[in-house]
């Protein structure tokens, strides 16, 4: 093992494969699927997930920032890559050099874009149809930007897209309004670009891409539902790829009245077995998760006392040996702690949980039941 602390995240690449393949089966064969690997693939590992997704049928990748795209290119990824977020216009030549497609989101960006004379820059125009984030809003803005593209030999109009604000909700009225506005903008174009896309995971699975010829598969590629509200509406079951594990490093018996952790907020009510796990808030296992269960020996056991920077303590039903496996996210025997359970405890969404498990937690990649690689940012 290429790490020296008994805490790690396991990434099941077979689950990534399943989720991508089932999505591709659900869509028309002509639809181009962008696998969204921004934010280090939602904490799963961008390079490993990108390779698995491309092998499973994804045709391109999408990231948030230029830095993420450059990292993938430097790692040998030659598939199409789209940067969904804004990049500085003075960095446009870097994107062109590395054949990275960029997003144009306002009228002035192209006038400032620095592209060398012999370069071509692939452009996707972002339309704001109701997200209130980056993007063009009107036909006039759109046509102005298209004219700028047409007037320059350096720019290629490769795509146009928007993003839904409520596709993960049962009520579809607002999404339908956004889609109608997007179609009006597309209809105003004399020439359509090769890629037209509006669907995130929720819209991809529920509405098969909403009639567009490309989709962006993000959260559901990782086996997580876009929202628990629409889980019953999904066309197939998703397989979570991420699990979080640790091992007991010490087990001790407390006497009644003895206390645990900072602030001495937990007091043993009787003779209690307390185990220590080497994971804490510096790993993204934040203090708000105090009281959350973990799985040991197929049983739920609670975290007691305040979670420390590097460690936390659990109350055990009996004595266990140091080295006993603990599952913080994932399945153990007949029990499971889901990403949604942790998100509920933290009063957030499942997207956030794997993203904030920090890089000092090694990622162990599993395929066909075997470890195929390990990424440890500390070594």
Distance from C-alpha of 363 to C-alpha of 36, rounded to nearest angstrom: 19
- Which two three-digit tokens encode residue 185? 């903008």
CB–CB of 251/233 below 8 Å? no
Strand 299-304, strand 312-316: pairing: antiparallel
Axis crossing angle, helix 66-74 with helix 46-55, rounded to the nearest 10: 70
Our answer to whether residue 38 is catalytic in this structure is yes
The single residue of 112, 252, 262, 288 carrying the catalytic annotation is 262
* Helix or strand run (H / E) with residue 345: helix 339-346
Closest among 276, 199, 262, 160 to 31, alpha carbons compared: 199
Our answer to whether residue 208 is catalytic in this structure is no
> How many other CB atoms are there within 10 angstroms of residue 64's CB atom?
16
Our CA dihedral for 282, 283, 288, 291, rounded to 10 degrees, sits at -120
Distance from C-alpha of 365 to C-alpha of 375, rounded to nearest angstrom: 8
The single residue of 17, 38, 126, 245 carrying the catalytic annotation is 38
Distance from C-alpha of 259 to C-alpha of 293, rounded to nearest angstrom: 19
Distance from C-alpha of 276 to C-alpha of 314, rounded to nearest angstrom: 6
Axis crossing angle, helix 139-150 with helix 173-187, rounded to the nearest 10: 40
CB–CB of 167/200 below 8 Å? yes
What's the 3-state SS for 283-310? HCCCHHHCCCEEEECCEEEEEECCCCCC
Indicate which residues carry an active-site annotation: 38, 262
């Amino acid at each position: 093992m290429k790490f020296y602390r008994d805490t790690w995240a396991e990434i099941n690449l077979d689950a990534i494969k399943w989720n991508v393949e089932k999505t591709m089966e659900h869509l028309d064969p002509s639809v181009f699927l962008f696998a969204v690997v921004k934010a280090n693939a939602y904490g799963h590992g961008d390079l490993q997930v990108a390779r698995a997704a491309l092998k499973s049928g994804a045709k391109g990748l999408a990231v948030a920032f230029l830095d993420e795209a450059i990292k993938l290119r430097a790692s040998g990824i030659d598939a199409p890559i789209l940067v969904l977020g804004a990049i500085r216009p003075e960095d446009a030549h870097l994107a062109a050099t590395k054949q990275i497609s960029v997003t144009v989101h306002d009228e002035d960006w192209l006038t400032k874009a620095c592209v060398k004379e012999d370069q071509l820059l692939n452009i996707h125009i972002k339309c704001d149809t109701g997200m209130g984030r980056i993007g063009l809003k009107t036909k006039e803005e759109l046509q102005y930007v298209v004219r700028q593209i047409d007037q320059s030999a350096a720019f290629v109009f490769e795509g146009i897209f928007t993003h839904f604000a409520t596709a993960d909700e049962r009520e579809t009225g607002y999404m339908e309004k956004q889609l109608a506005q997007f179609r009006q903008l597309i209809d105003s174009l004399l020439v359509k670009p090769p890629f037209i896309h509006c669907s995130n995971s929720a819209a991809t699975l529920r509405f098969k891409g909403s009639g567009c010829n490309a989709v962006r598969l993000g959260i559901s590629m990782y086996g997580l539902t876009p929202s628990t509200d629409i889980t019953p509406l999904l066309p197939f079951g998703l397989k979570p790829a991420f699990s979080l594990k640790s091992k007991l490093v010490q087990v001790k018996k407390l006497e009644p009245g003895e206390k645990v952790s900072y602030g001495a907020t937990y007091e043993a009510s009787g003779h209690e077995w307390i185990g220590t796990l080497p994971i804490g808030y510096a790993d993204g296992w934040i203090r708000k998760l105090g009281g959350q269960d973990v799985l040991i020996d197929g049983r739920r056991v609670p975290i007691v006392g305040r979670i420390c920077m590097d460690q936390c303590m659990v109350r055990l039903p009996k004595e266990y040996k140091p080295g006993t496996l603990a599952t913080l996210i994932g399945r153990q025997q007949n029990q499971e702690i889901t990403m949604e359970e942790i998100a509920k405890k933290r009063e957030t969404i499942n997207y956030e949980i794997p993203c904030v498990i920090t890089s000092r937690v090694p990622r162990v990649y599993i395929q066909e039941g075997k470890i195929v690689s390990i990424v440890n940012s500390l070594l």
